[in-house]
Structures are given as structure tokens and as C-alpha cells.
Amino acid sequence: MKQVKYLVIHCTATPEGREVSADEIRRWHLSPPPQGRGWKQVGYTDMIHLTGIVERLAENNEDNIVDSFEITNGVAGYNSASRHIVYVGGVSKRGVASDTRTAAQIDSLTRYVKEFITRFPEVKIAGHNQFAPKACPSFNVPAWLQSIGININNIYTP
């Protein structure tokens, strides 16, 4: 068990405007290959739907310790000290990685990040692509965090 050090932002890598259900995420992550990844736990604690509604995907007791039952598979090597949030989207209708966040998703993600920092003042916020060579979450997380007034001390820099 480790203290929460990171909040990592992800996208579902699905086309703009296509909603994704919690059951779909669970199938993608928990089903055995080749249908899924065969993980024991989903990759994210919470998901932000196109409407801005935040849905819990993995059990979490909301304290500052990442208990074994709370570990999600968002970023290899960092999961035991991270919480992960995903927004639905991240790919244009043409299939290109793009910031497809709706206004409602941006509003929800902004509130989520700010509340998370209030609860865990030492946390570093990052995009998945800051830990792995991926497009996810399809936008520049550090620049966005600065644009919404997040203190530089809470922005992850490798």
C-alpha cells in the first residue's frame, strides 16, 4: 500500500460522439485475450461520460492510500501509487487522436482535478502519454492544467 502520488488522465480512444459503457470498459480490460486484455482490474477508477456524468468503475475508499483492491491498470509501473480517470472519446470521427472532450466533460474533469488536489494536496496530475509513448489522452495535460489555474507543484513533469 502506497500513498496516492499521481492522478493520471486517460481517454477511451473511441470516436468522437460515441458513448462507452462501464460494461464495455470491463469487457475490454477483464475479458481474456483475444477479446480483452485479461486484467484482474479495470484500468481506471472513474470515467467521465459525454454528458459529463462521472461513473465509478473500481471500488475506492477515498483515502490517501492505494489499497490493493483499489489498484487499477492505467500505467504499468505506476499503478500502486496512482488513481486513473478516463474521459469517453479521444479520437476524431476520421480515426485521428484528437481532443474530443465535450464542454460537459471539460467542466467535470476540471472539478474532478480541483477536488482531487484539495483532498490530496501533494498529488501530481499527468496525462497517460507522459508515462508511455501513446497519444492518450489526446490533449496536452500540463498546458490544460495551467490554463485552469492548477499550481505548478501539482503538474507532473518527467
Tens-place pLDDT, residues 74-130: 999 999 999 999 999 999 999 999 999 999 999 999 999 999 999 999 999 999 999
- The structure's pTM equals 0.96
C-alpha cell at 115: 477536488
Query: Is the CATH code 3.40.80.10 the one for domain 2-154?
Result: yes
Burial class (CB in 10 A: 0-12, 13-18, 19+), 115: exposed
Sign of CA dihedral 50, 99, 97, 130: negative
Number of neighbours of residue 152 by Cβ within 10 angstroms: 9
CB 85 within 8 A of CB 93: no
pLDDT of 1 > 90? The answer is no
Tens-place pLDDT, residues 13-57: 999 999 999 999 999 999 999 999 999 999 999 999 999 999 999
Question: Running DSSP on this structure, what letter comes out for residue 29?
Answer: H
Q: Strand runs (DSSP E) across 30-77, as ranges? A: 46-48, 54-56, 65-66
Question: Running DSSP on this structure, what letter comes out for residue 71?
Answer: -
Please report, for the chain, the start and end positions of each structural domain, with discontinuous segments joined by +.
2-154
Residue 8: strand pairing partners? 84, 126
Half-sphere exposure of 11 (CA within 13 A, CB side): 29
